[in-house]
């Protein structure tokens, strides 16, 4: 247990961060948590319930990060906690097949229009890695097409950073998102070598960029024309913008789908699935190897089953969309009142707020944090609502935004 110093000149978060940096590179286990993008030490959270998170220094925030979209029923949803308490008494991990895995897989297959079979993993990154491997085996080709500013996890062929061999990068082609003309030109130049086109149907890691009319349909036609596997990365959008995900919302069927976040009800999860003719290439019935000790973990699948069943029963999507729109419209209205230029993107229960000046975003973020509102600490990330967010939460948030924008106007 980290012992907190009595030095009144340092906050609890500062002390925890200094300890964290001694034992963890950069003090965090995922870079965006460091608050580098907003120029401060991170907040450390000890508890969450409903729409709120509780920090180690005993502040309570209305949360719009919601574990980066994984929490749609609200933190510590009572039915999930009850079932997890029951499941944990039976053991935390078996590494052996369970009845629960079948139930969650069945729920996913019935929900996602294009998924005939599904394999569970431990993260969205793993899911996308496996989907790419399957596409390459199915097509006997190597190259993949991705889109600028998209994020599909931290596999080598999706990153341009130190430690990634050039041989990996040469197989990855990049096109501008929402530009079907330039995508066609790129594919035409490399059509004989392209195994897959992988796309976030809504670019959630670039500030909630919606697909323009005909873009996803154009990718489907392009893939069909050249025998390319179309992969939808629905790690964020799966069960978020509709029960059938983005493919159900936009009525476009990919060949393979990658899932995560909501699928695990707040526990670590990933999944990939699609046509049987592609999925049958997986070991143990096919030559494509993929495995994981904790894949289909009994606790994860328990939380996932409760979550998907609740979403099916409650069908909260219209209500979530209405609340999110009220929040987004309120942000835009107050920005106009104060003469502050910002941009709000929104679909379903996803939204983002961005500024042309990154310094303005930093001040906006900290202005809200000071007023006990937690937005994601990067203007290129997505914020989310859950069914636990109340009208009172939105009213409080809009009040905090009004005061913060007033401060920004004064400089």
pLDDT digits (tens, 9 = 90+) for 48-107: 999 999 999 999 999 999 999 999 999 999 999 999 999 999 999 999 999 999 999 999
**Residue indicated by tokens 């998924």:** 115
DSSP annotation of 28? -
Measured distance CA(70)–CA(365) in Å, rounded: 21
Q: Tell me the mean pLDDT in the region 119-144.
A: 97
Q: Which of 255, 304, 296 is nearest to 113 (CA)?
A: 255
Which among 138, 151, 177, 317 is annotated as catalytic?
Answer: 151
- What is the side-by-side strand order in the sheet with 256-260? 117-121, 270-274, 256-260, 229-233, 194-199, 143-147, 172-175
Does position 364 have pLDDT exceeding 70, yes or no? yes
- Predicted confidence at residue 392, as pLDDT, reads 98
Q: Residues 141, 261, 323, 362: which is the catalytic one?
A: 261
Cβ-contact 261, 237 below 8 angstroms: no
The pLDDT, as a whole number, for residue 159 is: 85
pLDDT confidence bin for 263, thresholds 50/70/90: very high
Is residue 233 annotated as a catalytic residue, yes or no? yes
The beta strand positions in 126-204, using DSSP E, are: 143-147, 172-175, 194-199
Q: Pick from 227, 259, 231: which is nearest to 147 by CA?
A: 231
Question: pLDDT tens digits, residue range 335-349?
Answer: 999 999 999 999 999
Query: Does the structure show a pLDDT above 60 at 2?
Result: no
Place of tokens 């992988």: 198
pLDDT digits (tens, 9 = 90+) for 196-225: 999 999 999 899 999 999 999 999 999 999
pLDDT at 10 over 80: no
Nearest to 150, CA basis, from 131, 169, 175: 175
Whole-model pTM: value is: 0.96
**From 28-32, 159-163, 266-270, the region with the lowest mean pLDDT:** 159-163
pLDDT in the model for residue 4: 52
Give the H/E segment covering residue 52: strand 52-55
Phi, psi torsion values for 76, nearest 5 degrees: 55, 45
Kindly tell me if the per-residue pLDDT of 368 is higher than 80: yes
- Arithmetic mean of pLDDT over the chain: 95
Q: Determine which helix (DSSP H) or strand (DSSP E) holds 350, and give its type and residue range.
A: strand 350-354
Q: Is pLDDT of 1 > 60?
A: no
Burial of 38 (0-12, 13-18, 19+ CB in 10 A): buried
**Phi–psi pair at 63, nearest 5 degrees:** -100, 125
Residue 132 structure tokens: 């790419």
For tokens 């599904």, the residue is 118
Domains of the chain: 12-72+316-410 (3.90.1150.10), 78-314 (3.40.640.10)
**Number of neighbours of residue 75 by Cβ within 10 angstroms:** 22
The neighbouring-strand residues paired with 203 are: 209
To 5 degrees, how large is the angle CA 203–CA 215–CA 320?
A: 45
Catalytic one among 233, 255, 383, 393?
233
Beta-bridge partner residues of 198 = 231
């Amino acid at each position: 247990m980290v012992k907190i110093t009595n030095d009144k000149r340092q906050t609890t978060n500062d002390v925890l961060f200094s300890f964290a940096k001694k034992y963890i590179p950069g003090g965090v286990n995922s870079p965006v948590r460091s608050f580098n993008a907003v120029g401060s030490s991170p907040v450390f959270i000890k508890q969450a319930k409903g729409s709120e998170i509780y920090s180690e220094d005993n502040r309570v925030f209305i949360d719009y990060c919601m574990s980066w979209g994984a929490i749609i029923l609200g933190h510590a949803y009572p039915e999930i906690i009850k079932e997890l308490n029951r499941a944990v008494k039976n053991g935390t991990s078996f590494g052996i097949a369970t009845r629960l895995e079948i139930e969650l897989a069945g729920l996913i297959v019935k929900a996602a229009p294009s998924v005939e079979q599904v394999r569970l993993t431990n993260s969205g990154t793993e899911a996308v890695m496996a989907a790419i491997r399957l596409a390459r085996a199915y097509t006997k080709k190597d190259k993949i097409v991705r889109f600028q500013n998209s994020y599909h996890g931290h596999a080598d062929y999706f990153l341009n950073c130190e430690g990634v061999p050039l041989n990996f990068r040469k197989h990855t082609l990049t096109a501008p998102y929402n530009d079907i003309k330039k995508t066609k030109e790129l594919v035409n130049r490399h059509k004989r070598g392209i195994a897959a086109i992988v796309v976030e149907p809504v670019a959630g890691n670039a500030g909630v960029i919606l697909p323009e009319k005909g873009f996803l349909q154009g990718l489907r036609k392009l893939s069909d024309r050249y025998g390319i596997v179309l992969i939808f990365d629905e790690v964020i959008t799966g069960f978020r913008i509709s029960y059938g995900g983005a493919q159900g919302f936009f009525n476009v069927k990919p060949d393979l789908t990658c899932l995560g976040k909501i699928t695990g009800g707040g526990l670590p999860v990933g999944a990939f699935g699609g046509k049987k003719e592609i999925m049958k290439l997986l070991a143990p019935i096919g030559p494509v190897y993929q495995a994981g000790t904790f894949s289909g973990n009994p606790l994860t699948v328990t939380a996932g089953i409760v979550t998907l069943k609740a979403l099916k029963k409650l069908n909260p999507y219209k209500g979530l969309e209405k609340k999110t729109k009220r929040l987004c419209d309120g942000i835009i209205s107050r920005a106009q009142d104060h003469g502050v230029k910002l941009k709000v993107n929104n679909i379903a229960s996803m939204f983002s707020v961005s500024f042309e000046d990154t310094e303005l975003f930093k001040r906006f973020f900290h202005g809200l944090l000071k007023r006990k509102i937690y937005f994601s600490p990067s203007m290129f990330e997505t914020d989310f609502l859950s069914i636990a967010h109340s009208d009172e939460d939105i009213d409080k948030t809009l009040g905090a935004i009004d005061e913060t924008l007033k401060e920004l106007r004064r400089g």
